[in-house]
Amino acid sequence: MFIDTHFHLGYQPDFYYPDVPLKNCLIKMDKLNIAKCINAHNVALLMGELRKGMEECKNIYENSEGRIISYLIFNPKRGKKCIQIMDEYLDKKIFKGIKIHPSIHRVYADDQLYDKVWKYAADKGIPIMSHTWEISDYNPIQKFSFPPRFENYIKNYPNVTFICGHAGGRYKGILECVKLLKKYNNVYADVAGDVYNNNLIKYLVENVGSDKILFGSDGIWVNWNTRLGMILNADILMEDKENILFKNAKRLFEI
């Protein structure tokens, strides 16, 4: 049974993105043998309605019988309020980590406004997962999430597990992500997103080992099948596939 560590429920107003009913997600999970998903709810992440998003996560957990767990959401521009809400909702059965998104919030990943969340994660013993991507001319907000910008926090908080969402996103971002994975024991990467390269999984495993890579779909934005297919069809050992698809997530998130 697989574990999807990068998943989104809720709607997105800036482009067509339907709020898929929970029952439809559970049916799809059953078809693809996905036991659990870790959700970063769009209402909190993209809409900024933090408390409403956390309530949605609690309801989703209960109505999915624990199959869909979630990330707490931290917005650095509302740091004090976010910490307060995170404290209210932190239940490690439901919330398995913290999601940050420098590009959405337009705050560079190395800004001191993130001090609060790294300290909080260290104190509570929970991982941080962040959007990471390469610098882009056509999508300039990605500069806020370029992987090297996370290094000071990674180095200063060695006991905080940090997950590079999308494994850096595009070519140069992936190369920089791999540098972090090699250099720091507390850095991992998920393969969520739309990087459709048949050799990506093999490249990551050959360079950093399968025990540092996590299956993530970026569902429901991205079709689950494409991400699973990349891993299942990769030219790597079955043991490596098992690590990526569920074993690493069970260990990191204590599932």
Per-residue pLDDT tens over the stretch 115-135: 999 999 999 999 999 999 999
Cβ–Cβ under 8 Å, residues 19 and 52: no
Average pLDDT over residues 246-254: 97
Other residues' Cβ atoms within 10 Å of the Cβ of residue 197: 11
Cβ–Cβ under 8 Å, residues 205 and 181: no
**What Å distances lie between residue 254 and 34, 108, 223, 250, CA to CA?**
17, 30, 26, 5
Domain that holds residue 15: 2-252
Cβ–Cβ under 8 Å, residues 82 and 57: no
Number of domains in the chain: 1
Phi/psi-derived region of residue 13, left when phi > 0, alpha when psi is between -120 and 50, beta in every other case: alpha
Q: Give 37's strand partners.
A: 4, 68
pTM over 0.85: yes
The confidence score (pLDDT) of residue 20 equals: 80
> At 10, which CATH number?
3.20.20.140
Average pLDDT over residues 38-60: 94
Segment among 113-127, 142-156, 180-194, 209-223 with least mean pLDDT: 209-223
Pairing of strands 213-214, 128-131: unpaired
Cβ–Cβ under 8 Å, residues 106 and 141: yes
